[in-house]
Each structure stands twice: as C-alpha cells, then as structure tokens.
Amino acid sequence: MIPVTLLARFLPGLALPLLALAAGGALGTWAGYTQGRAPLQTDIAQLRETHAETARLAAVASGQRLLHAQAHSNTLAAQLGDQLAFNDKLTLEKTRALQFATAGRACLFGSALRLLDESPGITVASPGPVPTPGPGVAAPDAPVATDTDLAGWIANTGNLYEQCRSRLGALIAFHQPPSAPAP
C-alpha cells in the first residue's frame, strides 16, 4: 500500500499529466469513433437516397399505370354504353315490327305460363291485356300468351343476352393488356 504522505507529495505533480492523459484518451476515442463512423454514415445516406429514388420511381410508374387503366376503362365504358343503347333501340324497333308481323293468336295457356313463370330467370308478363282464348281452347278467365307475346319475350331475352355478353366482353377487355399499336 502507498503511504498517504507519499501520495500527497507526488499527487500535485501527477494531476496535470493524468488530466492530459485522460483528455487525450477522450479526444482520441472521439476522433476514432467519428472517423470510423464517417464512411458508414455516408453509406447509410447513399442507401436512403437510393431507396427514396426507387420509391419515387415506383410511385410515378404506379400513377402512370392508374391513369392508363382509367383511360382504358373510360374507353371501354363508352363503347359498352354505345353498344347497349344500340341494342335497346334495335330491340324496341323489332318489338314494334313484331306486333305487325304476328296475328295475336293464343299460343300458351295457364299451365304452360305458370311453368315458364316458375323457371329461373324467366318472368312471364304480358305487355298488354291478356287476350281471351278462342272457344273450346281453355277457360275464358285463364291467362293466355299470344304469338305476339312470345315474339316480344324472345326479342327481350335476346337483348338481355346481348347486354350480358357485351358487359362480360368489356370486363374481359379491361383485364387483358391492350394490344400494341401497329408500326
């Protein structure tokens, strides 16, 4: 053990060198840490910059794809609307023409109409007053469908089919990539 008197005699002379040694050690540690971390900080900054640029490019590309899909959707919706309007107009014209091309004769009676009305996707509705059947055909108050009614139902069913086909075609066209323009 060091006697206290010896320590008291050398302590004032050692204080300054010990203080300088501690300050030098701290300064060296700080300088080493800073110099050692500087390349890492540069690498991290470059990685952050690269990541930000990649994210920006991805956002721009996503926005362009969205705009292209919206324009494609608008084109298909306009084409579909034109096709449906054309089909409705054609069905109306055909239905009016069918009224003159048919005789209004009774074709289907109560039990057949009930069976058709209970079928999936079919609603038997007479566009006008139900005609009375001829004598001996059915009861006078039984519902009857005429050849005009049948022709109207067929035209309406054809229109509904074309609407469904056109809508499905537009959905398929939306999900298929557009063809490349010819050079």
User: Nearest 10 degrees: CA dihedral of 167, 169, 175, 178?
Assistant: -130
Judge contact between 161 and 84, C-beta under 8 A: no
Look up the pTM and report it: 0.58
The residue among 92 and 145 whose pLDDT is bigger is 92
Q: pLDDT per residue over 29-42, tens digit each?
A: 888 777 777 788 88
Parse the chain into domains and list their residue ranges: 80-175
Task: Report how far residue 72's alpha carbon sits from residue 88's, in angstroms, rounded to the nearest whole number.
Answer: 24
Reply yes or no on whether the pLDDT at 139 is more than 50.
yes
CA dihedral 163, 120, 138, 125 (to 10 degrees): -40
Q: Is there a contact between 155 and 98 (Cβ–Cβ < 8 Å)?
A: yes
68 CB-near residues (< 8 Å, 6+ apart): none
- Confidence category of residue 179, pLDDT binned at 50, 70, 90: low
Q: Could you tell me the pLDDT band of residue 57, with boundaries at 50, 70 and 90?
A: very high
